[in-house]
């Protein structure tokens, strides 16, 4: 999504609905949200990207199981929050001609003569 001129933004995430894991566990829904913001300075010759992964600290899971009189409730939470930055600058602009013809040496040119 273009924000203002050379700024772009991205919103991404995953969601997993309730499911029965291995027919033993009932696993609660879980999800994650990530954001990224990019700017193209230097007349579109470079890109600077900043990203946030799980800024709301949503990465958690809850599962429950009951087998006869035994009840098991499992809750796990892991801190998956990350920030990142990338600066992407092209090293070479234009195409490189890999099949350019080498100049003939003066000796070989004189023999053709």
Q: 67-78, pLDDT tens digit by residue?
A: 889 999 999 998
pLDDT greater than 80 at residue 89: yes
**8 Å CB contact between 63 and 28:** yes
pLDDT greater than 60 at residue 59: yes
- Nearest-angstrom CA–CA distance, 88 and 47: 5
**Tokens encoding 88:** 């992407």
How many CB atoms neighbour CB 109 within 10 A? 10
pLDDT tens track for 9-32? 999 999 988 887 777 888 888 899
**8 Å CB contact between 79 and 52:** no
pTM of the full predicted structure?
0.59
């Amino acid at each position: 999504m273009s924000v203002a001129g050379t700024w772009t933004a991205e919103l991404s995430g995953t969601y997993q609905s309730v499911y029965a894991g291995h027919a033993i566990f009932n696993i609660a829904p879980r999800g994650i949200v990530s954001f990224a913001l990019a700017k193209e300075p230097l007349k579109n010759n470079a890109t600077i990207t900043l990203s946030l992964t799980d800024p709301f600290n949503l990465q958690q899971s809850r599962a429950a199981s009951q087998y006869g009189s035994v009840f098991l409730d499992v809750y796990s939470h892991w801190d998956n929050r990350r920030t990142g930055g990338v600066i992407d600058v092209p090293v070479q602009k234009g195409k490189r001609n890999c099949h350019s013809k080498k100049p003939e040496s003066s000796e070989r040119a004189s023999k053709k003569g």
